[in-house]
Amino acid sequence: MAPPREPLIFHASRPGRGATDQWPREPGGAISIPEGLLRSRPPALPEVSELDAVRHFTRLSQLNFSVDTHFYPLGSCTMKYNPKACNALAMLPAFLARHPLAPESRGQGVLACLHELQGMLGEVTGMQAVALGPMAGAQGEFAGVAMILAHHRARGEFARREIIVPEAAHGTNPATARLCGAVVREIPVGADGDVDLEALRAAVGAGTAGIMLTNPSTLGVFERRILQVAEIVHAAGGLLYYDGANLNAIVGRVRPADMGFDVVHVNLHKTFSTPHGGGGPGAGAIGVAETLAPYLPIPIVGREGERYRWLTERDLPLSIGRLSAFMGNVGVLLRAYVYMRLLGREGLSRVAEHAALNANYLLARLVRAGFEAAYPGRRASHELIVTLRREAREQRVTAMDFAKRLLDYGMHAPTTYFPLLVPECLLIEPTETESKETLDAFVAAMVSIEREAREDPERVRRAPHTLPVRRLDDVRAAKRLDLAWTPDGRTADPPR
């Protein structure tokens, strides 16, 4: 049933073979490079025919679960359907062929799309200005925190170096704050899933630069006292950063600016459906309130009359600077642009509605089936958390075991063990593009695994059983490092 494993491409290599039709002709000229700078041994690349390569990578692809092939309810990642048109239209030959330093006169088409995208993202977030350069959410976060710090410095408030982060935050938040040179201050979350306001009041002060929040939070619930949070932080002189990882829950319904946020990043690969690519590329566009606009990272697309042009440091002398060699992940931005135009005003307002409908339906059905909601009595946002602590205690079957067994049922696992403060958790995000039938099948799988956990727990603990590989030994992977194939067969094992 499972597709067979595929040998490493290096094993198919035969000296003298090659996809020769892809190679340029002999250049017919001399190499004028000093001998001492030349390579003596060729790199260990495979020598295979085109068909060898096509079969190899096609077979590799078949070893993956993906949105196109499987339900993929990976919480906090918004694995919705990626419309084919977005991909096809971003890959029109003229868009692909355009050099990043080509004159603006030969880029008015792409610049028009980017300029309109800036405007649409401003509309959705309620922010005054948008920059599209950041190449992933984490880079958007970097830009946001750097701008907050620049703002305080410009006002002479050099002591404001603390970034407050709720304990449930994505790991990128504290990592980003630290990268920006800020001091991270974690605050607890109450039993109801909302930020502990008393702890927040105690945390803010003359050292507060700002707070980083995801709303709805990573706990799958809306932060109900967000306006009070904003008031407390603003009163203390800090700014609010909105981590847009969960924007799909509120897009078209609530704008981060209205909640009091000063800066937001939007993961275009989540809410605006650009493909996740097996780990990227994404895009982390950033939007800001007027006060922060001068600090936006360059470049930005500006418009003068009917002409579009790049804005650079000459236009934005206070910019925090440049985050990519050229203009970030333009191809990803084009996909998001096409997606937003396809959905339009009406479609965008339906996204959050149906994402919430699917999440709450799944929560209701799972609770009815006997699973424990992490935050009972709360509405789910676009995702939900169940805790399998009872199953772990009684059957010694963990959230990881459930996750691996779900793979046997033909579904990608939800996010496991995040957020860290919910024991044995599954963070489940169905997205709006999944049908009721798919959600019902997921519930049926969970119920079936629960039964297996009682009747044959070993079967669950040793899952998966039907995939190309059995459960992999992560501990061994980290202890006996094998990170690269080498021709002499010696794997890269540390000498120590």
Partner 1 sequence: MAFIPHTAADVEAMLAVIGARSIEQLFEEIPPDLRSRPLAGIPQALNEMEITRLMSRRAATDRVALSFLGAGAYEHHIPAAVWALATRGEFYSSYTPYQAEASQGTLQATYEFQSMIASLTGMQVANASLYDGASALAEALLMAARIRRRPESRRVLVPRAVHPHYRAVARCITSHQGLRLEEVAYDAATGRTLVEALEPYDGEDLAAVAIQQPNFFGVLEDVDGLAEWAGRRGIPLVAIVNPISLALLRPPGEWLAGADVVVGEGQPLGIPLSSGGPYLGFMATRLEHVRQMPGRIAGRTLDLAGDEGFTLTLQAREQHIRRDRATSNICTNQGLMVTAATVYLSLMGPQGLRRVAESCHVRAGELVSALTGIPGVRAAFTGPRFHEAVLQLDRPVEPVLAALERRDILGGLDLAADYPELGHALLVCATETKTRSDIEDFAAALGAVLEARTAA
Within 401-460, the residues that bind partner 1 by CB under 8 A are 403-404, 407, 412-413, 415, 418, 432-436
Angle formed by the axes of helices 330-368 and 436-455, nearest 10°: 60
Q: Which long-range contacts (CB under 8 A, 24 or more apart) does 116-124 make?
A: 116/337, 117/285, 117/333, 117/336, 117/337, 117/340, 118/285, 118/300, 118/301, 120/337, 120/340, 121/266, 121/285, 121/287, 122/287, 124/247, 124/251, 124/252, 124/255, 124/266, 124/348
- Residues in region 83-102 near partner 1 by CB under 8 A: 83, 85, 87, 89, 91-102
Establish if 236 lies at the interface with partner 1 (CB under 8 A): no
Looking at the Cβ atoms of 254 and 441, the one nearer to partner 1 is 254
> What are the φ and ψ backbone dihedral angles of 200, each rounded to 5 degrees?
-65, -45
Q: Figure out which of the listed residues 253, 307, 393, 451 binds partner 1, where binding follows CB under 8 A.
A: 253
Residues near 488 by beta carbon (within 8 Å), at least 6 away in sequence: none
Q: How far is CA 453 from each of CA 36, 106, 154, 463, rounded to the nearest angstrom?
A: 65, 62, 59, 11
Choices 114-122, 204-212, 385-393, 448-456 (CB under 8 A): range interacting with partner 1: 114-122
Shortest CB 109 distance to partner 1, Å:
3
Shortest CB 202 distance to partner 1, Å:
20
Six token digits for residue 316: 């934005």
Shortest CB 201 distance to partner 1, Å:
20
Establish if 5 lies at the interface with partner 1 (CB under 8 A): yes
> What are the φ and ψ backbone dihedral angles of 131, each rounded to 5 degrees?
-120, 140
Give the whole-angstrom CA distance, residue 400 versus residue 146.
37
Shortest CB 232 distance to partner 1, Å:
16
Q: Any idea how long the chain is?
A: 496
- Residues in region 119-138 near partner 1 by CB under 8 A: 119-120, 122-124, 126, 135-138
- Residues in region 139-158 near partner 1 by CB under 8 A: 139, 141-142, 146, 149
> What are the φ and ψ backbone dihedral angles of 298, each rounded to 5 degrees?
-95, 160
Choices 20-28, 151-159, 199-207, 286-294 (CB under 8 A): range interacting with partner 1: 20-28
End-to-end CA distance of the chain: 42
Shortest CB 114 distance to partner 1, Å:
9
Shortest CB 126 distance to partner 1, Å:
7
Looking at the Cβ atoms of 333 and 453, the one nearer to partner 1 is 333
Q: How far is CA 271 from each of CA 125, 305, 439, rounded to the nearest angstrom?
A: 12, 31, 20
Compose the 269-288 pattern: x for residues touching partner 1 by CB under 8 A, - for all others: x-----xxxxxxxx------
Shortest CB 206 distance to partner 1, Å:
21
Looking at the Cβ atoms of 109 and 423, the one nearer to partner 1 is 109
- Residues in region 315-354 near partner 1 by CB under 8 A: 320-332, 338, 340-351, 353-354
